[in-house]
Amino acid sequence: MIIEAHAVTPQPWKNGGGVTRELLRWPAEGGAVEGAGHWRLRLSVADIAADGPFSAFPGVTRWFAVLDGAGVVLSLPDGDHRLRPGDAPLCFDGAEAPGCRLLDGPTVDLNLMLQGLDGALQRAQAGDAAPAWPQLGFFEAAARRLHWPATGPAPADGFWIGVAP
């Protein structure tokens, strides 16, 4: 299956700081994002338009990467993390709900959230071999296109999404 981010209807955040395009939720019938619900995996592209806190997701492991814009500073208990396009994704506990400060205007970001699953979001360049995960997807950064499932090598510059039960 191939999912184009531009074809997904954006949903506004409760805090008004941006919108999210949910590309993948598993299981698909999982509850609403607020309070996490019954999903185990959620992948989305978010447009962050204003400074503000992330929502708290206790029991969720979050991966975050900047796709476009100057970047952000996420404030977590272990300190501030500056993320720009091209940086490695940041993994953090979803319960921590970091503050987010835009470096210089809006950004577009990739978010992977996992409940009860082991997984990773890993940068890749076109032609890179696929990592060894039981379930694997690929997100093309420039085209904003998700391939699920995916097999290697990487079709373009982007991110491997690896998941194991």
Residues 33 and 90 in one domain: yes
Tell the residue number behind the tokens 């694997």, with chain if given. Answer: 136
Average pLDDT, the chain: 92
Residue 41 has pLDDT above 50, yes or no: yes
CATH of the domain at 86: 2.60.120.10
Burial of 107 (0-12, 13-18, 19+ CB in 10 A): buried
Kindly state whether residues 84 and 124 are assigned to the same domain. Answer: no
Same domain, 126 and 61: no
Q: Please give the pLDDT value at position 36.
A: 53
- The answer on 136 and 67 residing in a single domain is no
Which residue range(s) make up the domain with 130?
A: 118-164
Residue percentage of the chain with pLDDT more than 90? 83
Closest residue by Cα to residue 66 from 58, 78, 74, 57: 74
pLDDT tens-digit series, residues 56-84: 899 999 999 999 999 999 999 999 999 99
Whether 53 is covered by a domain: the verdict is yes
Shared domain check, 91 and 23: yes
Render pLDDT for 111-137 as a digit per residue (tens, 0 to 9): 999 999 999 999 999 999 999 999 999
Flag whether pLDDT at 31 surpasses 70: no
Tell me the C-alpha distance between 154 and 122, whole Å.
Answer: 11
Total domain count, the chain = 2
The sheet carrying 41-48 orders its strands as 11-12, 18-26, 41-48, 107-114, 61-68, 90-93
What's the token pair of residue 147?
């391939």
Q: Are residues 87 and 60 in the same domain?
A: yes
